[in-house]
Structure 1
Amino acid sequence: MGTVTTSDGTIIFYKDWGPRDAQPIVFHHGWPLSGDDWDNQMLFFLAQGYRVIAHDRRGHGRSGQPPTGHEMDTYVADVTALTDALDLRVAVHIGHSTGGGEVARYVARAKPGRVGKAVLVGAVTPVMIKSDSNPGGLPMEVFDELRAALAANRAQFYIDFPSGPFYGFNRPGAEVSQGLIDNWWRQGMTGAANAQYECIKAFSETDFTEDLKKIDVPVLVAHGTDDQIVPYEDSALRSVELLKQGTLTSYEGYPHGMPATHADVLNRDILEFVKS
């Protein structure tokens, strides 16, 4: 593990495992979690001989908790500081949910040679909020409810959310994992409430349309059709249309949290994409 200090003095925590001369894979976590949410994937790709890196977004996990910068442009500046410090070349950037938006914007702006491929898993791209230009998006009330629940009782909200729609545990016949729920709560409660509150605006209202159009490396779009957090039709289908080299892999009935609930399937498919 290590840390990098950004231009505004924020300390960003990261994990960096594997051979330094191996191709790097960088993992970007979702809201309101941390790099720990990728432990399964990091161990899998480490065993395949890759160098695997995962950071905690500012205000999340073990990174610093500054009063400002909880929006997408600063998140991406933090990633740039990390990739510059580690001098990562031809890296594969994999992002889940909010992390998918972070990947899209970073890859669109990355220096030449930094990025080889990208993977968007249940990503918030191109934009989540409903508007005249995005009639299939979610209404503001959905995100206002998230903010209200976080502010009222974050500890209980961070039990209810993974117990229900995040992992699809509210579906009939779902195999519920208490460990996943507890780990989600642990990661969420480690971060700063103010940062997580402001991040809701960042992941719901940031428009990544132009970022997706600019990306010129191959991108895998992986999305579950039963994603109750980021709707499949308004995210995956629209994102792949905007990408120059986009490939869509749809997972019938999979939930938003499929990197955890269906890690074996997702890991296999990402490995095949990375090697292709």
Structure 2
Amino acid sequence: MRLQGKTALVTGGLRGIGRATADRFAEEGAKVFITDIDTPESAKALLDGQTHQYIQANVAEEAEWESVAEIISAAGVLNCLVNNAGVDCVGPVQGTSLADWRRIMSINVDGAFLAVKHCHDLLSKGGQDTKVESSVINVSSIMGKVGYTDTSGYNTSKGAIKLFTKATAIEFATKKTPIRVNSIHPGFVSTPLLNAGMERLEENGAGFKSDLMQMLGDMTPMGRVAEPAEIANAILFLASDESAYMTGSEVMVDGGWTAQ
């Protein structure tokens, strides 16, 4: 029960890495809030009996973050924030519309900024009420470390998350604000987001989706893509007291991809 008595918020928590993280946190004793854009009725079906408290919210809308903070404040403090919500943007730079570029930045980058901004006071209080600081985990990507073909928008957004993590980590540490901030950089993970990205590449003539997925596994030194639970376990470590001396760190969970 590594998160016993703690409260966590996971954005984009209905599917993929976010859902695996929410479930893992609950297993370790946390009270878990999740946000996503689905209706409460759809979310209830997807949660399939899990007791996570669901809040419908678009992470790119500041007014909705004000509402999220109010709901969590009514429940007490916040000890952990996982900024997981995200979208991709696949295609050559010359074929990327400004609307698509702005969409990925608004969700992947603005969403994390707004979450930290509006949850700051709750996280600070949570850090003061426990022996170890509160924890923010920003889900970046290997694409925030290295470039890749036809993913300039995604690369840029995840690189921004990496530096936003470091900037806020130093800001909070030097001001003695009891909040740690770290980023996690998954490799290719078997999620609905990756599947959708491969489908778009197929539509753009890059090859069959099944072949593209196989290629990603073959190009990874460990020879496969990850499962969401494998990323969730690393996020759990960053949320727990076991990572108490870590802030501003980049945790790679990529099967060796960036070590090549």
Q: What TM-score does the superposition give when structure 1 sets the normalisation length?
A: 0.41
Say which structure is richer in helix.
Answer: 2
